[in-house]
Structures are given as C-alpha cells and as structure tokens.
A and B are shown apart, each in its own frame.
Chain A
Amino acid sequence: MGCRTSQLGRVAPAPIRAPKVADPSPRPATTSPAVLSIGRALPGNYADQETLTAALRAHWARQHFNADRLEELHRAVRVKGRHLALPLAEYPELGTFKRSNDAWIRVAEELGAEAITRALDAAGLAPADVDQLVFVTVTGLATPSIDAKLVNRLGLRRDVKRMPVFGLGCVAGAAGLARLSDLLTGFPGDVGVLLSVELCSLTLQREDLSVANAVASGIFGDGAAAVVLAGGSRAVKGPPGPRIVATRSAFYPDTEWVMGWDFRDTGFQVVLSAEVPRITRENIGKDVDGFLAAHGLRRSDVRHWIAHTGGPKVLEAFQSALALPDGALDRSWRSLEEVGNLSSASVLFVLGDLVASGEPSPGDLGLLVAMGPGFCAEMVLLRW
C-alpha cells in the first residue's frame, strides 16, 4: 500500500544540551523514559469531506428524511478530509464483520509496520533493539494480535515483550504512552515501542441511521502512529525528545454510557453521547490542576498542550475548561481538519507534529491529554 506519510526525526538538537558533533557521547542516565521518535503513517487512499459525504448521502438518502442535514452535520465537525484503509469504492462490498475485520487485519499490519519502521529509523534503532512492544487499537480484532504479526514481519527479537490492548478507544494513545512509560520505569535499560493503529472507516455501520453514526461518519479517519521510548538508564545517542516525567489516570464513575461500541452481527456500532463535551468541560480542569499540583506546577507552567482531537466541541471544551490562550491547541485543530479524529492515534499525531516542529526548548513542559471510553482521561507530563 502506498502511503502519504509524514516521518519525524527526533527533536532538533538544542544548543545547550546537545553537542554539535557527528556522534555525540551517550547522554547521562536519568530516571525518566524519553521519547526518541514518533513515526506516523496514513493510508494512501484519501478523500475530501465533500466526496465522503456524497458517498454516504447516496446510501443514506433512501433512509434519512433530510439528507441535506447530514451534509450540514459533516461540515460542522470541521474535518476537511480523511485517509481511508480501502479505496472508497470498496466499502459497499464489506457488509459483514468478517469482511471488515479481514480488511482491518491486512491493512493494520501494513500500516503498523510502516509506522514502526519510520519511528525506529528516526531513532537510529533496529527492530532487534526493541524490548517492549505495546499495541493499542479499538477498531479491529486479531489473534494472534497485530504486534505478533509485526514480530515476524519486522524481525523483532524472539524475547520481545508484547502487550496488545483493545478497548481503551480514543484515550489509548495517551494511556499507551503512560503505561509503556510505567513499564520502562521498571525496566529502565529497555527500549519500548507504542503502536497505535486505528482504521475507523472499517467500523462504519452503513445501515445504522443513528445520530451518533452520522456524526462518527463525518469525523473519524484512519491512521497509525508509533512512539519509540528509551528507559531512563538506556544510553542514547544525541538529544532525546521529551522525557515522560509523570502520568495520571482519571476515571469518571458511572459514565459507561458516554462512549463505546454496541457489538452487532455486522461489527462495531458506535455509541457516542452528545454530552462528551460537557463531561470534558466539567472534569478536565480539576483533573489537570490536581495532576500538575502534585508536581508543584500550575497550568501557566505548561508551554505545550497536546490534546486529543476528539472533535470541535471537545477541543472547545479543553480550551475553555483549561482557560488556554488562543492558539494553544492549533496543532490539534489542524490535525482534526487534515485527517479527522484518528481515535487513539490522534494525540500521537499531534505530539509528532510538535516534536517535528523543533519549537520546544530545553526545560519546556508539555501536557498530553486524551479522553475516551470509561469515561476517563489520561494525562502525560513531558519535559524537554
């Protein structure tokens, strides 16, 4: 599969921390895992929003009473286009869970391999250097899991420790980063890779006329991201990216109804409450403040905000609840517009964009935040 992809290198060397030599000495060990690189991969099939809406309209006009309203809904989510696992013409042929999931397995392996390869190349590492592999997804099922297929495909070591995680949904990019960081705290000499692959388009239920499906069909896209982390005592050449200095989970009791899947014979039917923005707005401020305060910090100490691109109302909720300055979430907005909501991969795309920009300076703090089914939030505190 051809891919229009973006590849990220590590953060551009910072003058204070990185000696300008061709092969700098290994950095002294610290206790915090470091982000070495982020690889992003998008399927080669791209369709702009008008094309996607028109394709759905042709099908839904027979059932929705006012198909014009669907176009209005798809414009309101502020997505300009999305990459798709399959050519658009192939989607009507899916129809069953087996066909959709078979396609998911095939494309997830390809896209996952591409993301990991790009990330390892950018970090100057080989597949054999990987000690821990965490794989997150919520859009398809495979046993052996995609990470197992990638051990064979990429030539990872026989003793690589794998951990596939299904079900965290949109929060899994942040949660995966946090859990892999926790793992590397226990194994500080290891290299870990987090892989997120989400092929949301393959979960679309064409016969589901619910409002949730109408919104989801306008906002979710496909993509994969891989993050390479080095444990705190792992010697790395050159300046690493940000270090993960702390993580925090926040679970919201009795909110299982907010987001998730209803499993049908035809696959995964989306559950998406209109109250996601409200719940975000009511909780994220105090959770962020509590997390930062535990580390002697305040919101004003955070220079970089890396927010999950949940949708326009979720981003507005982040912005207002945290009283962020204008432009603080520009990267998330841009990602939403360009590729849609990639579920768990989204926040890693935004992080990749930030790291690639070279904008962060040594000592800068960043806070990566995502929310997802549970309902819950995950926060990752980064220091450059």
Chain B
Amino acid sequence: MQNTVLVVGGGPAGLSAAATVSASGFDAVVVEKEEVLGGAPILSGYAKLVPSGEWAKDAIGRMVTRVVDDANVTIHTAAKVTRLEGEPGNFTATLSNGETVSAGAIVLGTGFTHFDPINKPEWGFGTFEDVLTTTQMEQMVGAGEIRCPSDGRVPQRVAILLCVGSRDRQIGREWCSKICCTVSSNLAMEIKELSPETDVFIYYMDIRTFGLYEDKFYWKSQEEFKTKYVKARIAEVTASGDGRLLVKGEDTLVKRPIVIPFDLVVHAIGMDPNEDNPDISRVFGVGLERHGFIARAEHYTNSCGTTRQGIYSAGAAYGPETIDDSISQGHTAGARAVADLYALVRKAG
C-alpha cells in the first residue's frame, strides 16, 4: 500500500489537502501546472481577501510556505499529470516532466477558470480600455491607485456589472458564481477607500451576499461607503463622445431605459469549470457534472468523493466556491484520502 497522496493543483484547496496529508503522517506530492503555487488568488493577483481582509499574498503566501517548508511534501511545478494507472491504494501517475509518482490516493484541487468577458462583447470588454474585470480591478487595488487605463485620470464614477458569465443561459452559464456579489461589494469599498472622490455603482439582478457576508459586505458598502446598488441588467456599454463610457440598460425599478456616463466599467466575472476539465476527466477517469465541473459523489457518507474510488476533490473544482470553503474542503479531502488508505491497510491485515 502506498503511503503517499497525490494532490493535483496548488491553490487553496490543494495546499490545505497537502498540509493535512502531511500532518497525518503521510507523504504528499503536489503537482501544479503553473510555475508558482497559490492558485487563482496568487496567479490573478487578488487584493484583500473576503472575508478576512488580509492581503492574498500574505494569507495564501502562508499556505504556500507551510507546504514548501514541509519535508513530507514534494512539489512539482509547471507539470501536469498526463497518464494515470492503477487502483485505489496503488496508483501510478506519469507527469509531463517525465517523472512518475506512486500514490495510494489522489486529491483533485484543480479549481476553476475565470470567465472571459470577451464572450459578452456587448459589455465592451476588449473593445474599450476602461472596461475591466474584477481581477484586473483587484490588481489595481493591489497597486494602490485607482485610475482609468485609457488616460490615467481618476474616475468620477465606476460601474460594477454583476453576473458577467453567471446566470446566463445565452452563454450556457446556468449557475451562480456565488462569491462575485460579496467580492464586488468588497471591491467597491476598496475603491472608495483609495479614491474617496469616486462614486461606485453596482448594477445587479439580485444581491447574493450569503450568510454573514450580508452586513459585513453588502450593508457596510451601502451604508458606510455609499455604494449605490441599481437594479438593472445592462444591455450594452458604448463610448460617449467625450472619452467616457455609456452604460445602457433598463432600470428595473423605475421601468425606464437608462444611458448613464461612467469612467470605468468593471465586469464581475464568474467562475467557469477549469478549462482543462475535459483532459482532467479523461486522464483521471472521473466524471463531470452537467455544467462541466468535477462530479461530486454522494456527499453524506462519501464527502469529497468523485465518480472514481480513491480519487477525491475539493474546492472550486466542484463548482463555484469561496477561498475559505475551498481550504476547508481541501482539509476534508486530505483527511478522506488518508482515512481510506488506513482502511485499506487494516483490510489487508
């Protein structure tokens, strides 16, 4: 029996899975396709995380350091698993860097891919310089200055459009990406903090700041940071003659068309299934659910399971997920893997 767990993906879920495996006295091997560990929060340059308010590079950085400094964890970056053979308790994975890994169980912390708003051309991303995504805006916040990319002016008005790449049958995204409402209200506060003269408007269909995020983010941004929430699904973003942008749509609550000038428009982009999921599904022999995320096993007694025994998953690989919950699920998946390996050892006697 192998006492090694292969963790695929070095983001919040994978890093916590590896840490749990190691803490349980087993060895972990982390395979990350990018050059650096940390996953989306690091690769996309997130600013302050929800809900801790801690900078991503500090918080996720600690998770990376914990795993890198752990003698029981082996790390392969810039590598993918290209072939998998074997069965629970005795898998052999071949990596793209030519190495092989023998492992008793596998945790897929393969995460998601940000929606590319070029697929909603009517909202101006890719056409106008001053139309950005939430991740680009996070990077701007990280850099500490809110400016229009086109000419460097301080924006008087910023519009954040929610549900870009979520809840939209037209583009086959029939899911809520769960965290964008909270992230957007957090971003609105960060913008106001850095640029007090900027007014932030959030265009929404619903506000889904679930659980304790309600008052901590939604109410706070509205009541203390004067974010304006406008109920309108935007039809299109166009250029006005004076270098600004025009946001067009129907204000649902006044039942009127709107054409409002803005300096910056931010797309609150959703979470797509990892673009590599077809490959991941083929290589690991795990099923995908109907939206293209990793299919979850029966959850009540097979937490963090997939359609294949011995292979577990966690976090945004299963569907849109928060960073905190991805971390918790990573721990669970790591513990499941270790526990099932113990069971195999006992059975073998």
A binds B: no
